[in-house]
Structure formats: C-alpha cells, structure tokens
Chains A and B, each alone.
Chain A
C-alpha cells in the first residue's frame, strides 16, 4: 500500500511569509504527527492529530499550527516565517490511538526561509 505522502517536497519562502504543508497518511491510519528536523537538534515533536483532534503538542510557538481532516489527511501551517524555521518537516502516521504501533514517516518537506 502507498506510504505517507508529503507535499511539497521542497519550497523556498522569505521571512514573514506563511507556509502550508500537506500530509496524506497511509490508508487506514488515523493518527498523524509532525516533526521538525534541523541539524544538531534531531527530530523534534510538533503535534499529533487523531480523528481531527489535536491530542498532543510539542514546545513550539503558536506560529506553528495544524489540522486534520475527516479523511485523516493533515496540514501544518507556519505563519510569520523566521530564518530558524528552515528545516525538514516530517509527517508520520500510525494506525491506532493507543501506545503501540510504529510510526511510518514520509520523505519530508524541506523548507528554506530566506
């Protein structure tokens, strides 16, 4: 079956702009989470959605937001972009709501802020 699909794969924005990234989970997976990967920081948890509800949130400012649709597809938005937001944004899906089941990651959306 198809894996986690993220669009766009690459994008360039300038400071102050906003960006929306999209994620389609594996079919049947209802949990979608987002991570930011930067050099030296590893992967940092942004938030998780399940059944259109945000279940958990990491330590990121309010400029970072997300949502999930009824078909489990998810979007994340970053407003008022800063240079430090340049990163690889990874989406991951999981089947259940509980505490089992591995995360399946997409290939990521690489954002460059100039």
Chain B
C-alpha cells in the first residue's frame, strides 16, 4: 500500500520555465512533508519542508504548496535551471512518531532542457 504517491515518473521542462512536481498521500495522520532531491550516485539531499498547519512554504526558487483537503502537495521550481535535473522524492512523516521514519514516494525524474 503506497501511502505517498508520485504519479509522474518523469517530467521535462525548458530552462527558465516553471517545474511543477506533484505528490498525493492517503494517510491523514501525516502532518509533516518534505521534498528531497537526488543526483545519480549521491544520497538524497533535503530541499524544503512544510508543516500541515501551513499551506505554503517558500525558499528561493522553490515553493511547496499543501492542500490538506485534497491530500496533495506540489513543488514549484521557478525558474528551472539545468542543475535542477535530478530525481525528486516527496516524503511524509507523523510528528508524534519519529522524524526519521519518512514515507517516501517513488520519485519523479526532472529533466531541465536548454
């Protein structure tokens, strides 16, 4: 049972345009959400997070939106750069549990073209 779903395995975007990566979850107990980025042969690196008490969090070119009623979150990257080409994982946790137990989606491979 995949509790965190990333239904788009890949996405191609032109440099300078907006990249939108989507994530859906089914467990209503999740109250903390994160995005990680992974380059080949490297471990995932933390990108941005959002608590369920917020609906938006912004950090530079990266913005995460959370729609709790729809159990949906999205990551917007504006403007997209070639260095953003990587696999992006959405993750969720329950803060009454342990922040180390993240439930990850299967990832979306973003390719930013020139």
Contact = CB atoms under 8 A, between A and B. Distances in A.
Partners in one complex: yes
Contacts of A71: none
Contacts of B91: 43
Q: In this complex, which of A90, A92, A102 has the most chain B Cβ atoms within 10 angstroms of its Cβ?
A: A102
A106 B99 contact: no
B43 A33 contact: no
A102 B43 contact: no
B107 A31 contact: no
Interface stretch (B11-19, B44-52, B59-67, B74-82): B44-52
A90 B98 contact: no
A55 B98 contact: yes
B95 A99 contact: yes
Nearest to B42: A107
Interface string B69-108: 0000000000000000000010101011111111111110
Contacts of B4: 42
A105 to B, nearest CB: 3
Contacts, number: 67
A43 B43 contact: no
Nearest to A97: B98
Contact of A108 (B6, B43, B49, B100): B43
A101 interface: yes
B110 interface: no
B100 A41 contact: no
A92 B106 CA distance: 18
B106 A41 contact: yes
B34 interface: yes
Given A42-B89, A99-B96, A99-B97, A105 B104 contact: no
A31 B36 CA distance: 19
Interface of A: 4, 31, 33, 35, 40-45, 48, 55-56, 58, 90, 92, 94, 98-108
Interface of B: 4, 6, 32, 34, 36, 41-46, 49, 89, 91, 93, 95-107
